[in-house]
Structures are given as C-alpha cells and as structure tokens.
Structure 1
C-alpha cells in the first residue's frame, strides 16, 4: 500500500496546479508516480520534471541506449513501477527481448553493440560502486564520447531519484502497467 495518498487535482494550490498543468500537457500526458509525489513540493516537481524531460526526450543518447540505462537502474533499485512503465518504451526503442529478459532476471545480458555494453557497465558501476574505474571511464569516453557520457550520468542520476522516490513512498505499479512486464 502506498505510504501517501494521491493528490486530488481539485484541491491543488495555485503553484501545484501550474506545475500539474505543465506536466499533464507535455509528452508524459499525465501526472503520476514520482511526479505526483513531488507535486506536494511544486518547486521540486517543476525542476525535476524539467530535468526528466531533458533526460528522457532531449539527451544525446538514442532512445534504445537511454531505455537500457533506465531499465538497468530500475532493476538495481528494484523499482517495480519504473520497470513496468519503461519496458514498453524499451521494446519500442528496439532493445531486444533477450536483453530485457536478462535484466529482469538480474543477469548480465549479451549485447549486440559495444555501446550497449558500456551503458550497462557504467550504469551498474555508478549505482553499485558509486564511481567508475579509470579503465571504464576511458572506455566509456572512447565509445560514447564525452557529451553522451555526460548525458548518461544525468539520466542515471534522474532515474535514481525516481527510483528512490518510488521506493521511499512505496508507490504501487498502476494496473495499466501490470500486464506489460
């Protein structure tokens, strides 16, 4: 059971309503999950959703690589909501079923490209070890380039924040996502 009740859109403050409307009218199409939690603090929700919009829709990472990083992070954090919400996006972006299945089972996937392997390894090491070895950093910079590596770290930070929020407040996986995992 969720630790906090959902907000009633009819009872939002002026600041909450402004942020709610901005999020709901954007590419997400609604305010749910961690965004609904953050909306209790509209300044946090506003800034976090802007970062999320960049990380999800405007970063230099291809959707396939971004979704690999997101699913790997969700799996590390056991963030069931985020996992369920992003599996369809990962499939649409071209991440293979074999990779998704391996991640779900917490096994290291066999990757089709060195880019995927680097995304996975950087994601694991930053989330689990909280740093990158010199060798991994150099490999990531060589394979991804500095700009995409910077965006990857941003994506990982944002989706770790999402995972923390979902887990701290025990946000339940909505019914719309339950059949897709």
Structure 2
C-alpha cells in the first residue's frame, strides 16, 4: 500500500471535513463490506483521496453524483462495475462490489465468471447488453452504433448514459486502487 490509511486523529482540518462527509456517505451506502479500520481510518479508494483533499473532494462529489444518477436495476449496475474492476484486476473493487452483487442475488458462479473476465452464460438479455457494452468500452475506441442502439432500446437514454458513466468512473477508481496498491481489508 503506497498511501497509508489515515486515522481520524491524524487528519488536517481540510482532510477531516472531507473524511466526515465520506464517512457519512459510505456508512449510508455500504454495509456489505469493510470500509473502515477499527481506528476509524477509511479504506478503499476513499483513503487515497484523503491525501489530496482538494482533488479528493471533487472525486467524492463525482462518486456521490454517480450514486444519485440511478436509472438501471442494481444487478445491471453491479455487472458493469464488476466487469470494469475485473478488467483491471482491482482487488478492492472486486471485493466490495462482489459483496454488493452477492447481497443483491448474484450467484457465486456468475460472480466468479465475471471476475475471470468471461461473459456468464446465464445473463438475461438486458444483463448481456450491459455486460457487452461495458466490455466494448473497456476495449477502447468509439462505441459501436449497434451496441449503443441496443442499450438505448433496453435501458433508454438515461440508462445507456449511466453505463458509459459507470465504466468511466470505475476505470478511474480501478486506477486509484491499483496505482496506490490498495488491498482488500484482510491484507492490511
């Protein structure tokens, strides 16, 4: 881990303000996986953002925006997020969103298949469109009109845009996790 998690007692005033906002948001959204150490230090990508509070606040606001911009069913969101995390081998992202997906009814077999960067055979039509769109975006280049039109038909304008935003947002989170070698909690 290249940027250690900062215990609350060691935060500057600027970091503390961001920490308080993140802590409240994380607690309200995530209960399926470990987000804090016993001493109150935040884990995951949020821990890195505290080291640079001006940038961290902008990134946190983006994360909160993604939380509010919800037009897709939760399972589809998790399939997209896991496709991104798996593509980059982002351990904490896979750990965290794997837990969220399992708690929302994803089978452990489907989760393992996505984590292996394979398309699960049991995806519904809409889930398959979302998975294929995420993987096409992760491959680089302009998204094919066929995939875009399929997403529009399945999810409407807002849902199709949400997939694009989710892929981009979680690419950034994956880079944060991998660049700073942020482990899953068991490895702390």
- Do the two structures share a fold, i.e. TM-score over 0.5? yes
* One of 86, 89, 92 as aligned partner of 2:103: 92
Superposed counterparts of 1:1-181, under 5 Å = 2-26=1-25, 27=28, 28=30, 30=36, 31-56=42-67, 58-175=69-186
Q: Hey, what's the Cα distance between the residues in 1 that align with 2:139 and 2:55?
A: 26
Deviates more, 1:78-87 or 1:123-132: 123-132
Ranges in structure 2 where 5+ consecutive residues have no aligned partner: 37-41
Deviation at 1:175?
1.4
User: What is the aligned length?
Assistant: 176
Cα deviations across residues 116-147 of structure 1 (Å, max 9, x unaligned)?
Answer: 00110111111122431111111111111111
4+ runs of 1 displaced by more than 4 Å? Answer: none
Deviation at 1:57?
5.5
Deviation at 1:39?
1.1
Contact 1:72-1:124 at 8 Å conserved across structures: yes
Change (3 A) 1:151 1:172: same
Contact 2:90-2:178 at 8 Å conserved across structures: yes
Cα-Cα RMSD: 2.0
Cα deviations across residues 58-106 of structure 1 (Å, max 9, x unaligned)?
Answer: 4112211111111111100110111011111001222233321211222
Q: Hey, what's the Cα distance between the residues in 2 that align with 1:130 and 1:70?
A: 19
The normalised TM-score by structure 1 is 0.88
SS at match of 1:145: helix
Ranges in structure 1 where 5+ consecutive residues have no aligned partner: none
Deviates more, 1:99-108 or 1:23-32: 23-32
Q: Hey, what's the Cα distance between the residues in 2 that align with 1:20 and 1:121?
A: 36
Q: Hey, what's the Cα distance between the residues in 1 that align with 2:15 and 2:142?
A: 36
Change (3 A) 1:167 1:50: same
Deviation at 1:47?
2.1
Cα deviations across residues 126-179 of structure 1 (Å, max 9, x unaligned)?
Answer: 112243111111111111111111111111111111100011111111119x9x
